[in-house]
Amino acid sequence: MAKPDNRADNAEHLQEHIANTQQNIQETEQYLNEFSSEISSTEQNQLEEKNERRRESVAEFEEELADEEG
């Protein structure tokens, strides 16, 4: 038998995803600030691109959160 679809805590999960993703962005920015002279430009570009994808994810999570709360 299928599990019932319980969406009661979706908003809470989305808020956790947003917070975790924002923390990852900040940690990567700190890493880049501290070690940019020690890492290759390729790695630096990869990390910057990863952060951009994270920012896009945060925006999507926020839209979904607004729908859940709304």
**pLDDT surpassing 80 at residue 7:** no
Residue 48: helix, strand or coil by DSSP? Answer: helix
The alpha carbon dihedral of 30, 32, 34, 35 has a sign of positive
In this prediction the pTM is: 0.86
**pLDDT surpassing 80 at residue 8:** no
At how many degrees (to 10) do helices 41-69 and 10-35 cross? 160
**pLDDT surpassing 80 at residue 2:** no
**pLDDT surpassing 90 at residue 5:** no
Chain position carrying tokens 């990567």: 28
Give 34-63 pLDDT, tens digit per residue. 999 999 999 999 999 999 999 999 999 999
Q: Is the distance from CB of 21 to CB of 52 less than 8 angstroms?
A: no
Query: How many Å separate Cα 43 from the centre of its chain?
Result: 19
